[in-house]
């Protein structure tokens, strides 16, 4: 059973940056593709970014492309989401997710493991 714990959320002004981290335990991290999702109040959870198990492929939602960067350190069992040029519409609870597969996965339904989420609030 894989456990995922996010950290790094907080309050930031528009145009600022945050780096989220997601620490994994309970499995061989390098066997898992990882993703970041977010959910704003009253909205469905949406895909943000995904990375393959060895980090060779990454995918981004159009709304964050060019501003966010997903990366992973398999020696530290951690996946990161660097968020730059933040906008008020990026405000949401951010979740990391994992699936035992090589390829990057963008669909919410495909992930087996989820963290508890971390709040990101961007003020205007």
Question: pLDDT of 57-115, one tens digit each?
Answer: 999 999 999 999 999 999 999 999 999 999 999 999 999 999 999 999 999 999 999 99
The encoded tokens of residue 63 equal 């709304």
Q: Tokens at residue 58, please?
A: 């990454």
The strand pairing partners of 78, in sequence order, are: 23, 73
How far is Cα 114 from Cα 4, in angstroms, rounded to an integer? Answer: 6
- DSSP annotation of 12 reads E
User: What H or E segment, with its residue span, contains residue 94?
Assistant: strand 92-100
| Residue of 66, 70, 78, 71 lying closest to 21 (CA atoms) | 78
- The predicted pLDDT at position 1 comes to 83
The Cα–Cα gap between 90 and 74 comes to 27
Burial per residue of 81-97, b for 16 or more beta-carbon CB atoms within 10 angstroms, e otherwise: bebeebeeebbbbbbbb
Query: For the segment 3-57, what is each residue's pLDDT rounded down to a tens digit?
Result: 999 999 999 999 999 999 999 999 899 999 999 999 999 999 999 999 999 999 9
The pLDDT of residue 39 is 98
Other residues' Cβ atoms within 10 Å of the Cβ of residue 27? 16
* Residue-level pLDDT at 63: 97
Listed residue (83, 84, 74) closest to 36, CA to CA: 83
């Amino acid at each position: 059973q894989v456990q995922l714990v996010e950290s790094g959320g907080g309050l930031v002004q528009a145009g600022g940056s945050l780096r989220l981290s997601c620490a994994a335990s309970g499995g061989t991290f390098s066997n898992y593709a990882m993703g970041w999702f977010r959910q704003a109040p009253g909205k469905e959870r949406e895909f943000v970014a995904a990375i393959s198990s060895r980090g060779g492929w990454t995918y981004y939602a159009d709304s964050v492309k060019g501003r966010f960067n997903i990366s992973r350190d398999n020696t530290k069992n951690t996946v990161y989401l660097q968020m730059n040029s933040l906008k008020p519409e990026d405000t949401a609870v951010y979740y990391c997710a994992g699936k035992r597969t090589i390829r990057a996965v963008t669909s919410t339904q495909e992930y087996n493991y989820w963290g508890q989420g971390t709040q990101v609030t961007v003020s205007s």
